[in-house]
Amino acid sequence: MTCSRVGNTLAFALVCMVLVATSGCGSGSQKPLTESGPVPSAVTDAETVNLADFPKGAAGSLSDIAATAITQDNFGQASSVFTPGTNRLAFGVIGNDGKPAYGPTVVYLAKSPQSPAKGPFAAPADPMVPQAAYLSEGAALDTAQLKAIYEAQIPTPTAGKWFVVTLTKTAEGLAQTSGEIAVAPNSTVPNVGDRAPSITTETVSSTGGNIGSIDTRKPHDPSLHQQNFASVLGKAPIALLFATPQLCQSRVCGPVTDLLLQLQANYGANLVAIHEEVYKDNKPPVLRPQLEAFGLVTEPWLFTIGRDGRIKARLEGAFGINAMNRAIKAALK
């Protein structure tokens, strides 16, 4: 679900084929702005995970864990930057019918299929559906079926290949997916606790009102392009989103931009929310220098920065409203 990358993987392409769906119509909702738009009951059920419903990792190897399932679905990896330590793994579960599958889900991992399995690690579903008032034209057109993304915090203490198995609880029994992730020794992307690079982000004012040059969202939203990041860095909590709603290959950028707009409305003057486009002159494949300053080769990315100028949270690829809200809260502390 990582939108754009030089050489997208097949796993990314699989999960990117099915995207957030929402009605985008109906009367205005009175729901808190920290909650998503309408999602099916299966997504709501998948937001809660009871680890007691799943086999313990100590019960056997990763292959043994996979063998407890009665059906096999497809693993759609939606994050790609992993380094030794605890990492956020985002993914979709895609059924053999090509549609997303939802249910309480956990993750196991090991250095080989025959090695003892670590886990289970809870992977609650995180809704990606904006409320109707914040739904852009692009997201409404591009959305299809995927209404949430799974995410888990997983321990990967060493670099190299790690094998992954997910189990999802269904009415018929357990369904499994299998995949692999690559943990690099290090990363160019600044991490939590690092000082955020001081980048200049263009604004409505700096472009002489030509918002289309810095915003591919339709309709454009000037509220995410009012502040230059360098001018507010170290002075206020910031949510900085690198995304390109109209040019994102996975079409995830539209929904996450809409979700930021929705959360900005919730926090008001307490938060500076900035959307930065990805491609120079909005023409792929040349990246804007702001992404290069952050060491980014994938998108979307969300960074939240505290008043001290340090990164408090970061999210890559697909992420939902709950993860975004937690990231913003971390910057507001």
Same domain, 169 and 263: no
Write down the pLDDT at residue 249: 75
Q: Order across the sheet with 272-276: list the strands.
A: 272-276, 238-242, 301-305, 311-316
Considering 165, 183, 201, which residue would you say is the last residue of a domain?
A: 183
Q: Partners of 175 in the beta sheet?
A: 71, 168
Domain shared by 65 and 172, yes or no: yes
pLDDT score of 141: 61
In a domain, 319, yes or no: yes
H or E stretch at 262: helix 253-267
Note down pLDDT in tens along the chain; length 333 residues: 444 443 334 344 444 444 443 333 344 448 999 999 999 999 999 999 999 999 998 879 999 999 999 999 999 999 999 999 999 999 999 999 998 999 999 999 999 999 999 999 999 999 999 999 999 987 666 555 779 999 999 999 999 999 999 999 999 999 999 999 999 999 999 999 999 999 999 999 999 999 999 999 999 999 999 999 999 999 999 999 999 999 987 778 999 999 999 999 999 999 999 999 999 999 999 999 999 999 999 999 999 999 999 999 999 999 999 999 999 999 999
Cα separation of 297 and 36, whole Å?
28
Give the count of beta carbons closer than 10 Å to the beta carbon of residue 249: 18
CA-nearest of 77, 39, 46, 74 to 175 is 74
pLDDT at 192: 98
**In terms of domains, do 19 and 129 share one?**
yes
Q: What is the pLDDT of residue 142?
A: 53
Task: Give backbone dihedrals phi and psi of 234, rounded to 5 degrees, phi first.
Answer: 80, 5
Same domain, 297 and 218: yes
Cis peptide before 300 (omega within 30 of 0): yes
Task: Provide the 3-class DSSP secondary structure of residue 34.
Answer: coil
Contact 273, 239 (CB under 8 A): yes
Residues 97, 178: one domain? yes
Asked if 153 and 281 sit in the same domain, the reply is no
In a domain, 133, yes or no: yes
Helix, strand, or coil (residue 272): strand
Q: Are 261 and 152 found together in one domain?
A: no
| Any domain includes 2 | no
Residue 309 within a domain: yes
Q: How many CB atoms lie within 10 A of CB 235?
A: 11
* Beta carbons within 8 Å of 318's beta carbon, 6+ residues apart: 1, 2, 15, 78, 79, 90, 92, 128, 149, 250, 252, 256
**Segments forming the whole domain that contains residue 130:** 10-183
Whole-number pLDDT of residue 144: 58
Q: Is position 201 within any domain? A: no
**Residue recorded with tokens 């290069």:** 292
DSSP state of 287: B
Looking at the 3D structure of the chain, how many domains does it have?
A: 2
Q: Does the residue 199 lie in any domain?
A: no
Do 30 and 173 lie in one domain? The reply is yes
Residues 179 and 217 both lie in one domain: no
On whether residue 291 sits in a domain, the answer given is yes
Position 192 in a domain: no
CATH assignment at residue 233: 3.40.30.10
My answer on whether 58 and 123 are in the same domain is: yes
The CATH number of the domain holding residue 79 is 2.60.40.10
The pLDDT value recorded for residue 123 is 99
State how beta strands 105-110 and 160-169 pair.
antiparallel
Q: Which residue has the tokens 């980014």?
A: 296
Same domain, 158 and 224: no
Q: What is the 3-state secondary structure (H, E, C) of 104-130?
A: CEEEEEECCCCCECEEEEECCEEECCC
Examine the domain organization and report whether 126 and 218 are in the same domain.
no
